[in-house]
Amino acid sequence: MKVFKFGGASVNSANAIRNMARILQHNLDTPLLVVISAMGKTTNLLEKVIPGIAASDEERRRLLSQCRKYHMDIAEELLQEPQNDTFRKLHSLFEALEKTSATKPSSYNFDYDQTVCFGELLSTTLISGYLNSIGIINQWVDVRTIIRTDESYREGNVDFDTTRQQACSHLSALNSQLIITQGFIAGTASGTTTTLGREGSDYSASILSYCLNAESMTIWKDVPGFLNADPKFFNNTVKIDHIPFNEAIELAYYGASVIHPKTVKPIQNKGIHLNIKSFVDPDAEGSVIGPFDSIQPLTPLYIFKNNQVLISIQPKDFSFIAEDNLQRIFAVLAMLNVRVNIMQNSALSFSLCIDYNDVLLGKIVELLNSQFRVVYNKGLQLITIRYYNQHIIDEIVAGRNIILQQRSRNTAQILVDNQ
């Protein structure tokens, strides 16, 4: 079996979905498991209709109808038959989403997962229905019955044993040549929905590749492969043909948007090769993450993370930033499932940089406020350069205000103002 993953950008319109169908059509010689994200920017939209988050009920309804229209327009373009069973399924998903988003808020992380999961349920229902309607016969699977996590909402920890058992028993029993399922979402033992963190569909594909001993895994992207920089920020990018597993983990950890940080470990454990290929040019080589000694070609790699916030924390009493205070700070971060992108401490202050999220930032301040003075600085950019030299750094930061920087032998990280 091979595992394919298609992200939001590869299924964001009727034409994109037709293109995806063509790619599947050319790859039906071996059994395929296809993991799909929410269409386009749907997850961003759903984040705004989590119970209690929209500014007003009117706003919540406006966003929901925008989401419905986006999906229904595509469904109508792809599915000719108005009475199609797929429409019925899509309608009932929209009804359930409306209900969920209108419930009384409980905990943010729990509500988050119960709401945003609809993005993947909608995309896979629509796509599976379309593929069946054009003769690409497939089986839709609710991945929440396969990938089991604990109850860490918004960042579920995967129970690999149960997941492997469920994958083997449920998926093998289907005896299907083509399975369509959701990325990003998972289920707990008690049947509630969890998610694996933003952009987590890559990780879903990797968990399933591991559990099913996949022959290979392929992520289909809007770029030709693993580039040395995001073409959105950089003009002259270089494609990296071969990337060692560990290098890919480091790069993803620093924020290389090409893959989710947790993706590589499971496939590395089984030695499964991960291909990154272009859905625009499916016959081109792409990149391979595998058991290589070094990246090929060896070239500096740049990672830009926008929308960063630097939080500075100072004890209000006479204490220093020492182990006991750090323990308190990290307990709060762990409880909120917040990932730190860079951190630094001095005697009197601890600074950490995270992806900006209004709700979580508010909670961090609220929880630390009694013991610490907490100030923050929004709208920053974190630049990470692997295999850097001074000349490269000078060029990148020319004219920018450096807020914080750290260097190790191979990696430089620089936090700058976003102007």
363 near ligand ASP (CB under 6 A) = no
By rule CB under 6 A, what string of x and - marks binding of each residue 173-192 to ligand ASP? Answer: ----------xx--------
Give residue 143's identity as a one-letter amino acid code: V
- Minimum CB–partner distance for residue 220 and Mg ion (Å): 12
Residues of span 188-247 touching ligand ASP by CB under 6 A: 198-201
Out of 17, 36, 38, 223, the residue judged to bind ligand ASP by CB under 6 A: 38
- Write the CA distances from 373 to 23, 29, 91, 327, integer angstroms: 54, 61, 49, 16
Report d(CA 10, CA 31) in Å as an integer: 21
Question: 135: number of CA atoms within 13 Å, CB side?
Answer: 2
Question: 341: number of CA atoms within 13 Å, CB side?
Answer: 29
Nearer to Mg ion, 8 or 225 (CB): 8
Out of 8, 40, 244, 290, the residue judged to bind Mg ion by CB under 5 A: 8
How many amino acids of this chain bind Mg ion (CB under 5 A)?
Answer: 4
- Minimum CB–partner distance for residue 290 and ligand ASP (Å): 22
Phi–psi pair at 344, nearest 5 degrees:
-155, 140
119 near ligand ASP (CB under 6 A) = yes
CB 333 within 8 A of CB 305: no
337 near ligand ASP (CB under 6 A) = no
CB 193 within 8 A of CB 187: yes
255 near Mg ion (CB under 5 A) = no
Question: 295: number of CA atoms within 13 Å, CB side?
Answer: 20
Residues of span 35-54 touching Mg ion by CB under 5 A: 37
By rule CB under 5 A, what string of x and - marks binding of each residue 172-211 to Mg ion? Answer: ---------------------------x------------
Give residue 267's identity as a one-letter amino acid code: I
Nearer to ligand ASP, 184 or 376 (CB): 184
How many Cβ atoms from other residues are within 10 Å of residue 213's Cβ? 12
User: Residue 263, by phi and psi: left (phi above 0), alpha (psi -120 to 50) or beta?
Assistant: alpha
Nearer to ligand ASP, 155 or 199 (CB): 199
Residue range at the interface with Mg ion (CB under 5 A); choices 30-38, 223-231, 262-270, 367-375: 30-38
Q: By the criterion CB under 6 A, which residues form the site for ligand ASP?
A: 7-8, 37-38, 43, 119, 183-184, 198-201
